[in-house]
Amino acid sequence: EEQLYKRLLNVTNNKIHNADGIDDMKKRLRLIEGEIQAGNDSKSLLAEAKEILNSFASYGRITRKESGRFYRQLQSQLDEKK
């Protein structure tokens, strides 16, 4: 979880701030990455991560480009597990 948070902050250049719901979404995103790292290759996890990242972008916490970059990192992790 800590690794994901650090990576997310790195990808977003520390633009994520605490706000209602943001902490819960960050926790869920960390959990999703952990699931993928543990070998869960469910496409629904990737879809949920994309939804969360799009929400971050919509809230102005990260850019669309940063959202896409992080999504591709998760997708790459999922592909490596296959």
pLDDT in tens, 12-32: 655 555 555 788 888 999 999
Count of alpha carbons within 13 angstroms of residue 29, beta-carbon side:
27
Closest CA to 6 of 81, 80, 73, 75: 73
> Which residue type sits at 31?
L
DSSP, res 23: H
Q: For residue range 45-63, what is the model confidence (pLDDT) as tens digits?
A: 999 999 999 988 988 888 9
Q: Looking up tokens 């520390």, which residue turns up?
A: 14
Range list of β-strands (E), 16-55 = none
Give the predicted TM-score (pTM) of the model. 0.72
